[in-house]
């Protein structure tokens, strides 16, 4: 386990989502931002009650569902914020499309990871390069690979910045209840059976009783289902 450094103030305890956010925003603002993937708006709502000027960014892969763009617009109107968008490099996307075609991600795990690397991981790396900490919606129940996620981690994959997962111990039902009770904007794909949302061509609705992430890259094995955004880090 890595110890916190002078650049990363220490945090004692495994508090509530509000406790974690209050500490993180106090320690790192404005070099901290929420990564929004439009699964829900709980993090934005909680954070804005602490810091109304909290930063929110997202990655536009170029293949997001229309409902996700509508959700982004609703979020900006509801919270009165502007989302900081990061896009893939156009020359890399052009090369990918010219060389491998629009559906290469279905051909193999390696091809899928190549597409994710160009459309998601590189823009994320650029977004994080200017931050000391980022806030994510990672929850332990989402996948086997996230089962041990800490609420505060050192993100070695992104230069040792701090990764904050305030909702690590929240369930899917808790998220849904919070969104409903606070009348927050949400992605309407959830009304169509989606339980986890990514690119339109790599996400499908799930059947009742299916794993919530079963609709992501459904042609792959569960242990392969990470796109490189959330590589395992060290908890602190
Ligand atoms: S989720 Fe699919 S379309 Fe989106 S970046 Fe990954 S492989 Fe490409």
Q: What mean pLDDT, rounded, does the chain reach? A: 89
- Of 39, 101, 120, 194, the one to substitute when testing ligand 1's pocket (max ligand atoms within 8 A of C-beta) is 120
178 alpha carbon, distance to own chain's centre = 18
Does residue 22 have its Cβ closer than 6 Å to ligand 1? no
Q: Where are the domains of the chain?
A: 17-235
Closest to 132 measured CA to CA, from 51, 29, 2, 19 = 29
Q: How far is the CA of 202 from the centre of ligand 1 (A)?
A: 6
Closest to 71 measured CA to CA, from 35, 48, 46, 37 = 37
Task: Please write the tens of the pLDDT for every residue from 149-172.
Answer: 899 999 999 999 999 999 999 998
Of 65-69, 94-98, 199-203, 219-223, the one with minimum mean pLDDT is 219-223
Say whether pLDDT at 4 is over 60: no
Domain 17-235 has CATH 3.40.50.620: yes
- Give the residue, 137 or 223, on which the prediction is more confident: 137
Task: Please write the tens of the pLDDT for every residue from 171-205.
Answer: 989 999 999 999 999 999 988 988 888 999 999 99
Closest to 194 measured CA to CA, from 176, 212, 171 = 212
Quick one: tokens of 79?
Answer: 């919270």
Task: Please write the tens of the pLDDT for every residue from 42-55.
Answer: 999 999 999 999 99
As beta bridge partners, residue 216 has 203
Task: Give the predicted TM-score (pTM) of the model.
Answer: 0.88
201 catalytic per annotation:
no
């Amino acid at each position: 386990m890595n110890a916190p450094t002078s650049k990363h103030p220490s945090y004692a305890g495994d508090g509530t989502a509000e406790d974690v956010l209050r500490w993180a925003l106090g320690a790192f603002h404005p070099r901290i931002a929420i990564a929004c993937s439009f699964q829900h708006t709980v993090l934005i709502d909680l954070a804005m009650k602490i810091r109304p000027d909290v930063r929110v960014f997202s990655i536009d892969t170029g293949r997001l569902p229309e409902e996700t763009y509508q959700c982004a617009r609703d979020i900006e109107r509801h919270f009165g914020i502007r989302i900081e968008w990061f896009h893939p490099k156009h020359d890399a996307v052009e090369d990918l499309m010219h060389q491998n075609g629009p559906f290469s991600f279905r051909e193999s795990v390696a091809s899928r990871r190549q597409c994710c690397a160009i459309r998601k991981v590189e823009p994320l790396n650029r977004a994080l390069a200017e931050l000391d900490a980022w806030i994510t919606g990672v929850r332990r129940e989402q996948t086997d690979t996230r089962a041990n996620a800490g609420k505060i981690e050192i993100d070695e994959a992104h230069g040792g910045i701090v990764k904050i997962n305030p909702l690590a111990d929240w369930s899917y039902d808790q998220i849904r209840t919070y969104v409903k009770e606070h009348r927050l904007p949400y992605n309407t794909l959830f009304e169509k059976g989606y339980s986890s949302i990514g690119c339109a061509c790599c996400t499908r609705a799930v059947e009742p009783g299916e794993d919530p992430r079963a609709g992501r890259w459904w042609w792959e094995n569960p242990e392969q289902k990470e796109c490189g955004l959330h590589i395992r880090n060290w908890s602190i």
